[in-house]
Amino acid sequence: MINAIYAAIWLGALWIWGDWRNWRTYYPTILFFILGDFLYLLLLSDSYPMWRYVPPDVDQKMGVTNKIVSLSIIAIKYPSTAIIYLSRFPENNKLKGFLYTLCWVLIYLMNEFIDVKFNLIKYYNGWNLWWSALFSAAIFVLLRIHFKTPIFAWVLSAMVIVVLWNIFDVPFSVFK
């Protein structure tokens, strides 16, 4: 139920503000965004999670799990976010670009704050809302960089992963 509400909100936002008719323009960056979460799901979600979604009882009774919530976010929220964010990014004005990115970080932070308050997400291994805020900032900067210069974004992403891997002392056993 909650998952469907979030999905409807993101699809509505995409319909109103997104350049969805030109989705192919944003497709490579959408895939870049999605791949990051797939890697998290594959490597960390079960064996060494930073966070896990906790569906409310009514959703759990319908069989909704952390993975289903994650997959719906990957399928709906991330493409909607990438299309809206990139299609409306203010060009040639660094201050406006910074403020626009900050606005998106705050949107994601508010979304997660609501999830925390309603016990829809649980943190593990030292992760918290503030780490999510920093991570969201990195994501939005990387999305913009990927849209303009993909190779540079891949290099920066690898660096972010290595830094986070070390900060959170992720064991190499996650590769088993």
Break the chain into its structural domains and give their ranges. 2-175
Collect contacts of 85-94 with beta carbons under 8 A, ≥24 apart. Answer: 85/140, 85/143, 85/144, 86/26, 86/29, 86/143, 86/144, 86/147, 87/18, 87/19, 87/22, 87/25, 87/26, 88/17, 88/19, 89/144
CA–CA dist 155, 131 (Å, integer): 21
pLDDT at residue 3, rounded to an integer: 84
Q: Give the pair of three-digit tokens for residue 1.
A: 């139920």
**What are the pLDDT tens digits along the chain (176 aa)?**
788 899 999 999 999 999 989 999 999 999 999 999 999 999 898 899 999 999 999 889 999 999 999 999 999 999 999 999 999 999 999 999 999 999 999 999 999 999 999 999 999 999 999 999 999 999 999 999 999 999 999 999 999 999 999 999 999 988 87
Collect contacts of 121-127 with beta carbons under 8 A, ≥24 apart. Answer: 121/51, 121/52, 121/53, 121/54, 122/51, 122/52, 122/54, 123/50, 123/51, 124/48, 124/49, 124/50, 124/51, 124/52, 125/48, 125/49, 125/50, 125/168, 125/169, 126/167, 126/168, 127/50, 127/51, 127/168
pLDDT at residue 103, rounded to an integer: 98
pLDDT at residue 134, rounded to an integer: 98
pTM: 0.94
